Amino acid sequence: MALEPLLSPRRKVVVLVGGVGGAKLAHGMAQIVPPEDLTIIVNTGDDFWHYGLRICPDFDTVMYTLAGMVDPVNGWGVAADSTAMLDALRRYGEQPWFRLGDRDLATHLLRTIGLRDGQRLTEIMARLAHSLGVGATLLPMTDDPVATMILTAERGEMDFQEYFVRFRWQPTVKAIRYAGADAAQMTPEVRAALVAADLIVFGPSNPWLSIAPILNVPEMRQRIASCPVPRVALTPIVQGQALKGPAAKIAAELGYEVSPRTVAEAYRGTINGFVFDERDAAVRLDNLYEFSDLRTISCDTIMQDDVSRARVARLILDWTASWEADHEHLGDHPR
């Protein structure tokens, strides 16, 4: 649903996201940024093989959200999907712990066949997203396999979906690694989007589970850090709690203070702007990056509906547009 037309000058916007939380901001941006100016780079560290199918939960979550067909209750999967395939698996004695709906299955089938035929994930998903009517460009962070692995105190190391879904993020996290990230390559599409970007936004996604895998793709962190444009992150932690999922629990388990300060610290060296929630106005964010002039702003970051998503997106666009009067913060070559 388009709201008002964009008043500030047209800018190329790149948004980095994980799943449900990030998809909300991506959706807010999609309401106010022309599709040809919007690129969403999506975490693929959550991707895994399941019953012979390649599942890309974060990508699909963003795609379904922008297509207006995401399940409104879960925030992932297809709205009003049926479960005949899962029921049939149970009749064979299987105990499927990952809920793949019947319509959702079509996405996994076509993705898996495309990969088997040697196509790149970027190309396959561009085709599927286009078929669903998504106008913005959605890009996997890389075409190469990267797997977020969780070292837990109780059960040793496990892959992300086991930790997140099978064990309902209850095990204690001791460490996280991004297997395959070292060998992954940045795609030409991601590189081109970053080169053209006038604004880069990190969604209110989990810094360790969703954004860090993206930043760990070789070249990614350096390229983003050296973009002479506003690079703004939103906190997923509000009033000591995660907006959704295990961000607060993991922060505590890794020994960090559960606050937006920790989120901003996680992005040190990469961002030059940070959005935190007005409910955390008392949290001291000054002196965060002593020598780097991190700009901060607070607002109501909760994005419950279409209107609040567009409102947060608009705030980021307007706030960062106002920086352009002051080029010093953006490097020598302001866009």
Which residue from 13, 16, 100, 176 is in contact with ligand FO1, where contact means CB under 6 A?
100
d(CA 186, CA 41): 11
Closest CA to 277 of 312, 309, 238, 308: 238
By CB under 6 A, residue 236 contacts ligand FO1: no
By CB under 6 A, residue 65 contacts ligand FO1: no
Closest CA to 177 of 199, 204, 154, 159: 159
- 21 versus 273: smaller Cβ distance to ligand FO1: 21
By CB under 6 A, residue 260 contacts ligand FO1: no
By CB under 6 A, residue 159 contacts ligand FO1: no
The per-residue DSSP string of 148-184 comes to EEEEETTTEEEEHHIIIIITTT-SPEEEEEEETGGG-
**How many other CB atoms sit within 10 Å of the CB of residue 107?**
25
By CB under 6 A, residue 165 contacts ligand FO1: yes
By CB under 6 A, residue 277 contacts ligand FO1: no
Instruction: Judge whether 293 and 269 are in contact, CB under 8 Å.
Output: no
Q: Provide the mask over 74-93, with x wherever binding to ligand FO1 is found by CB under 6 A and - wherever it is not.
A: --xx----------------
Sheet holding 156-159, edge to edge: 156-159, 147-152, 173-179
By CB under 6 A, residue 104 contacts ligand FO1: yes
Neighbour-count burial of 328, counting CB atoms closer than 10 A to its CB (0-12 exposed, 13-18 middle, 19+ buried)? exposed
Q: Which residue is nearest to ligand FO1 (CB)?
A: 19
Helix, strand, or coil (residue 118):
coil
By CB under 6 A, residue 51 contacts ligand FO1: no
Closest separation between CB of residue 19 and ligand FO1, Å?
A: 3
Which residue from 164, 178, 202, 274 is in contact with ligand FO1, where contact means CB under 6 A?
164
- 12 versus 54: smaller Cβ distance to ligand FO1: 54
Q: In what helix (H) or strand (E) does residue 266 lie, and over which residues does it extend?
A: helix 260-266
By CB under 6 A, residue 60 contacts ligand FO1: yes
By CB under 6 A, residue 143 contacts ligand FO1: no
Residues binding ligand FO1 (CB under 6 A): 18-20, 46, 57-58, 60-61, 76-77, 98-100, 104, 161, 164-165
